[in-house]
Amino acid sequence: MANRRNFVVLVVEDEPYLRLDTVDLVEEAGFSTVEAANADEAIKILEHRNDIRVVLTDVGLPGSMDGMKLALAIRDRWPPIDLIITSGQLNPNLDDLPLRSRFFAKPYDPMKLVQALTTFVG
């Protein structure tokens, strides 16, 4: 199994406490994290780093694009990156999700989220 510390997860969440909780959960599971408060920050990070393996994004983001548009942009520009999409408001049609993505309704089960990350490690 790959070393989880070498597996970087970009957490995109505009609510600071939820972002902190998610980062803590991901790091406690052994993964490295990078944080962004919106899609614009996430895109800047992705343009300057080549070690992001998964983007975990909320759908309801402020700014130029929501999390679903961010996920579609990532799938287009950075095809190898896996995606986890979350929302407390929306339950998207699974056919609308980008390839190699998983959706979790909030509040999500932390163990199921960690399981999804673990499946991406391979």
Note the pLDDT tens digit of each residue in 45-81: 999 999 999 999 999 999 899 999 999 999 999 999 9
Task: Kindly give, in sequence order, each residue whose CB lies less than 8 Å from that of residue 81, ignoring residues fewer than 6 positions away.
Answer: 46, 52, 53, 54, 55, 74, 75
Global pTM?
0.93
What is the CATH architecture assignment of 4-109? 3-Layer(aba) Sandwich (3.40)
Distance between CA atoms of residues 69 and 60, nearest Å: 10
Mean pLDDT for all residues in the chain: 91
Q: What is the pLDDT of residue 2?
A: 58
Domain boundary assignment for the chain: 4-109
